[in-house]
Structure 1
Amino acid sequence: MKDKIISILKKNKKIFLIAKSFQFLQTASIAKIDGSKKKYPKVIQLPITYNCNSQCVMCNIWKMDHSGEADVKEFSRFMRDPLFKKVEAVGINGGEPTLVRNLPNYVDEVLKLPSLKSLNIISHGFATKSLLTSLEVIFGRCKDKGVSFHVSISLDGVGEIHNLVRGRKRVFEKTINTIDTIIKNQEKYCDSYDIGCTVVNQNVDYLIELDTYSKRKNYNIKFRLGIDNKRIESDKIREQYSVIYSPLKQSAKEFFHYQISQTKDLVNRFKYYSIFFWLNSEQPKRLLGCTWKDEGVTLDARGELYYCAVASDSIGSLRKDKGESIFFNDKNIDYRKSIITNNCDGCIHDYTGKAELKNILKFFIDTIKDRFAMKIYQLKVRFI
C-alpha cells in the first residue's frame, strides 16, 4: 500500500515535492540542542582500526600507532556494554577496515546489538578481492538479522588526481574496479551504496571532471569538505589540504553552489546549501544537524569513548570503566556542552542529525527565492 501511494505521488511532481518537503520538515528540531540531556546513544561511529595503507593528504592516521587494538573477544565485551542498548546505527571506518583480520567476526558482534537497524562500512576500495569477500559475508549476516547494510567507497578524483589525494600510485584503477563490481553485483554485496569525495586543495579544481565522470558511470557520488578532525590528526596538517584556509576557497564555493542547483534530493541539497552558506559567511554558522550533539558516540579500536566524532578528546575507556559511568558523567556532559558551544558552528562536516527548524525554513525560503528570482525581478521592474 505504501509503495502504491509513493508511486501515485511521483506521477504528480508538485504533490510529491510537497510531500517530500513535509517529510523533511518532520526531521527538524524546534529547540536548539545543547548536549545537556543524558540520552543513550543511537549511533556509533566505529573506527575499527588505526591501521591504514593509504597516505591521504587530509589525514595523518597512517602515521599513527595501531598497536594494542581489541581482538574479537575483547570487542565482543565492548559491544555488550549497556551503554549501547539503544543503538540503531553503526558506521564502521578506520583506518582501513579491510586491514582488520576476520572483519566479519567483528561485525557479528555488532549485529548482536539489541536495537540495531542499520550498518555502514567506509573503505578506500584498494583491495578489491579482500573487501568484496568480506562484504558478501557481512551482507548475508545482515540480511539474517534484518539489518540494512550500506557501503561507501572513497573516490577523490579521476586518474592521477585520486592517486595524488590518496598518496598512492595506481590506486584509481583498483578503486574503480571495486566500485564497478559492487554496482554490477549489488544484490551480493549491499542494500545500498554511495561514493564519497573529500574536497581538498589537491582536487578542488578537478571536481567538475569527477562529477561528469560519475554521472557518465551512473555513480551515486556525494561531496564533503575536508575538515579538522582531532582523532585522525588532520587538524595538525590543515595548511596541507584545507580549502577553508586557502585561496582555493572560492573554487569550493562555486562547486557547492553548482551542486545545490543540480541536486534533486532534498536532504543532499540542504547539505550542499549548508556547506555553501558556511563557506560564504564571514562568521560561519552550522545549519546542518548533528547526531553527535546528543545521540551519538565514537568508540575506537582500543575501547576509548568520545562524544564528537571530530573534535572530542577521549572521555574514558571501556577497558577501565563501564560505558554509562563514562558517557553520563557530569563533568563529561559539561565537556560535551562546551564542544557544542565552542566548536559546532566552526564545523562543516557532513554528519547529519536533527537540524533546527529555523535553518530548514531558511533553506526553503532561499530555494523559493532562487526558483522565482527572475519573476520577482520582472515584477520589480514594472513598478520602477
Structure 2
Amino acid sequence: MSSVEGLTRGKKNFQNWAWNYGMKMNAKVHDLSYFFWETTLKCNLNCMHCGSDCGKDKRGQELSANKVLSVFGDIAQNYDPKNIMVAVTGGEPLVREDLFDVLSEVSRMGFSWGMVTNGMLVNDDIVNRCYESGMRTVSVSIDGIGETHNLLRRNEASYDKAVNALKLFASSGKFEVVEAITCVNSQNISELKDMYKIFKGLGIQGWRLFTIFPKGRAEINKELLLNGKLLIELFNFIKEKRKNNSEMYVSYSEEGYLGCDWEKEVRDEFFYCGAGIHVGGLLADGSYSACPSLSREWIQGHVDEISFSKAWETRYKNMRNRHWMKTDKCVKCREWNKCNGSSLHLWDFKENKTKVCHFDLINSKDDK
C-alpha cells in the first residue's frame, strides 16, 4: 500500500467513525422520516426468493382502511407528515382493492409516498390512478432478463409485464423517480451488464440493487445466495457504473456493513441500518415494526393495543441500542463500532447472532 493509499484509507476510516457517532446520536433523537406500509401479504406471483413468503393463497386478513388511516392520522397529528416518506409494499400492493382510496387520504394528510410493484397489473389506468392519488416515486422489481426473471418469479409473462410497467411509468413523465430494483443472486449476476443497457434505454432515473438473504422462501432456495467472490463481482460492477454514468443512478441498498474498501463506493453513505431509529412501519396484520424484511420478533405493538406514536416514543429500544447484538464473532471483531451487528433483517434470533456478515463473506479466503 502506498503512502497516498494509506492516507486515503485512514481518512475514510475516520469519516466512517464520525458517521457512526452521528448515527448513535440519531438513535437517541429517533426522528421518524421513513415509514413502511405493508399493504397486504397477498401476491399475484409466487417468487422463489420472496423474503416475506407471500402468495395468492395468503388469506390473512388485511388491516381495514379505517384502521390504516387511523395510524397515519396519529402520525400526522404528532409529527410533520411533510418530513416523512411512505414506502408502500406488500405482497403486491396493487392487489389490494382499496389501495388508492387509502393512499389518496394519506396524500391529503401531507405524506409523500412511493411504491414497490412487480408490474403485473400496471397499465395506463393504474399509472393515472397512482398519479392522481399522490404517488411520487415507483420501483419496479426486475430480477433478470426474460427466462431468468420468469424462472425466479415462476410466471412466464412476468418479465414482459415488469418491463412494460417501467416503460409506462417512465414515459408518463408524472413521477419524480422511476427506478428498477433488482435482487441480485447466483442466477442473474451474469446478466447485469445487459440489464443495465436495457434499463438505460428505458429512460428511467435509477437502478437499485440488493442481495438476497436467507428469509422466507429464500431460506429454502439457498443456491441463490451469493458467495464472497460474487459479492465482489457485484460491487465492482456497481462501482464502475457509478463512476461512469450520470444519466441513470446505480446504487446498492442498505444490506449490511461492507468494510472500508466498499463503503461509500457502491452507495452514497456509509452503512447504517435505520430500522427503529428513523424508519418505522405498519405490517399487513396491524403490527408495528420497521421495514417488512424484519422477522416477527422485532414487532413493537399492534394498532389495537397502542397508538403508533406512543409505541415509537416508548418502545423500539432494542433497535436503538444494539450493544446486545455483540455476540459470537462480533465480540472480537475490529469492525464492530462501524457495523453494530449489521442490518436488523439479517439477525438470527434462534442462533443469537448475525445470520449473514457481508464483511466476512468479502474477506473469506474460501471464496477467493
What TM-score does the superposition give when structure 1 sets the normalisation length?
A: 0.67
Q: Distance in 1 between matches of 2:68 and 2:26?
A: 27
Q: Flag the 1:156–1:227 CA change in 2: closer, same or farther, 3 A.
A: closer
Q: Flag the 1:214–1:275 CA change in 2: closer, same or farther, 3 A.
A: farther
Q: Distance in 1 between matches of 2:31 and 2:59?
A: 29
Q: Flag the 1:34–1:292 CA change in 2: closer, same or farther, 3 A.
A: farther
Which one has the bigger helix percentage? 1
For 1:226, the equivalent position in structure 2 comes to 211
Larger Rg: 1
Q: 1:203 aligns with which of 171, 182, 188?
A: 188
What TM-score does the superposition give when structure 2 sets the normalisation length?
A: 0.70
Q: Distance in 2 between matches of 1:70 and 1:31?
A: 36
1:1-384 pair list within 5 angstroms: 31-33=22-24, 36-37=27-28, 39-59=30-50, 60-62=53-55, 65-82=58-75, 85-87=79-81, 88-114=84-110, 116=111, 118-129=112-123, 132-142=124-134, 149-187=136-174, 190-228=175-213, 233=216, 236-237=219-220, 239-243=222-226, 246=227, 249-264=228-243, 271=252, 277=258, 287-307=270-290, 309-311=292-294, 313-329=298-314, 332-338=316-322, 341=325, 345-347=341-343
What is the letter of the counterpart of residue 334 of structure 1?
N
What is the letter of the counterpart of residue 194 of structure 1?
E
What is the letter of the counterpart of residue 125 of structure 2?
T
1:122, distance to aligned residue in structure 2 (A) = 0.8
Q: Distance in 2 between matches of 1:69 and 1:299?
A: 11
1:165, distance to aligned residue in structure 2 (A) = 1.9
Q: Flag the 1:101–1:270 CA change in 2: closer, same or farther, 3 A.
A: closer
Q: Contact 2:38 / 2:283 at 8 angstroms: preserved in 1?
A: yes
**SS where residue 22 of structure 2 aligns?**
coil
Q: Deviations over 1:121-158 (max 9, x none)?
A: 110101223xx42331232342xxxxx70111111111
For 1:10, the equivalent position in structure 2 comes to none
For 2:335, the equivalent position in structure 1 comes to none
Q: Flag the 1:43–1:156 CA change in 2: closer, same or farther, 3 A.
A: same
Q: Distance in 2 between matches of 1:63 and 1:226?
A: 24
Q: Distance in 1 between matches of 2:207 and 2:343?
A: 18
Q: Flag the 1:194–1:137 CA change in 2: closer, same or farther, 3 A.
A: same
Q: Distance in 2 between matches of 1:220 and 1:89?
A: 18
Q: Distance in 2 between matches of 1:49 and 1:169?
A: 23
Q: Contact 1:260 / 1:273 at 8 angstroms: preserved in 2?
A: no
Q: Is there any run of 5+ residues in structure 1 with no aligned partner, and where? A: 1-24, 143-147, 350-384
Q: Flag the 1:221–1:242 CA change in 2: closer, same or farther, 3 A.
A: farther
Q: Distance in 2 between matches of 1:238 and 1:219?
A: 31
What is the letter of the counterpart of residue 256 of structure 1?
F
Q: Distance in 1 between matches of 2:32 and 2:144?
A: 35
Q: Flag the 1:85–1:223 CA change in 2: closer, same or farther, 3 A.
A: closer
Q: Matched residue pairs, number?
A: 303
What stretches of structure 1 move > 6 A for 4+ residues in a row?
272-276
What is the letter of the counterpart of residue 151 of structure 1?
V
RMSD: 3.7
Q: Flag the 1:348–1:270 CA change in 2: closer, same or farther, 3 A.
A: farther
